[in-house]
Amino acid sequence: MASLRIALVQESSGLDQEANRDRLDELTPAGTDLVVFPEAFARDFGEAGSDISAFAEPLDGPFATEVERVAAERGTTVVAGMFETSGDPQRPFNTLVLRGTARASYRKVHLYDSFGHRESDRLSAGPVEPVVVDVGGFAVGLMTCYDLRFPELARALVDRGAEVIVIPSAWVAGARKVEHWRTLARARAIENTVFVAAAGQPGPRYTGHSLVIDPLGDVLVEGGPDPEVLTAVLDRSSLDEARRTNPSLANRRL
């Protein structure tokens, strides 16, 4: 395909898992190739440091099953965040499920032990195994929230062929956080000459500002702090031109 139609659903998840599942159908737009919901959309983290183990589900559980059903009904691919049961019953994985015309799962590698938070106290880190999947003829790599601060993971995705990096997030609000989010997302796009599609939960707890960035770092669309659905079209011609203009991947010396 020459282009990929993408939607970023900047909406909050609540503490009621059934209500969050129901909103997948309500919020997934038609006429898209890829719909990106935020991190932890199946159920919010709750108060900082809360035990979330009781809310974990398997990959064939109610949330992932509903993601798959909605994606099939809309004829698209949907990615959304959930807590997945792990080998440690007290510390589930923070997982992205991608279902629809493609199928993949990604367990968050870098846990948010930063800015006064200790995600690793309540969650297990996933294996360092980059996940790239074909969606509509584009190679899509998956990252989650805090992963954005680690350029080596984005580069590992690109080394596996990623042309688009999708980053569902619940980027906690605070001083400098919007600027960090925007700057890091643009840096990952520029240094890797890829599209970046980053979907965050809205304020006031999180920063919002979901955005899509092209491979030369231009922002195609950016939200504000409030709930909204953003759309963009990713053109392969823009990717090809960026990599001709800035052949930094080809110029690497390892």
Q: Which residues are catalytic?
A: 39, 108, 145
Element (H, E) at 181: helix 177-192
Task: Name the phi and psi angles at 74, rounded to 5.
Answer: -90, -10
Structure token pair of residue 66: 């509903």
CA distance 30 to 66: 16
Structure token pair of residue 19: 């209500």
CA distance 3 to 204: 34
Structure token pair of residue 143: 């990252």
Characterize 41-67 residue by residue with b for buried, 16 or more Cβ atoms within 10 angstroms of its Cβ, and e for exposed. bbbbbeeeeeebbebbbeeebebbbbb
Element (H, E) at 180: helix 177-192
HSE of 127 in the Cβ direction (CA atoms, 13 Å)?
Answer: 6
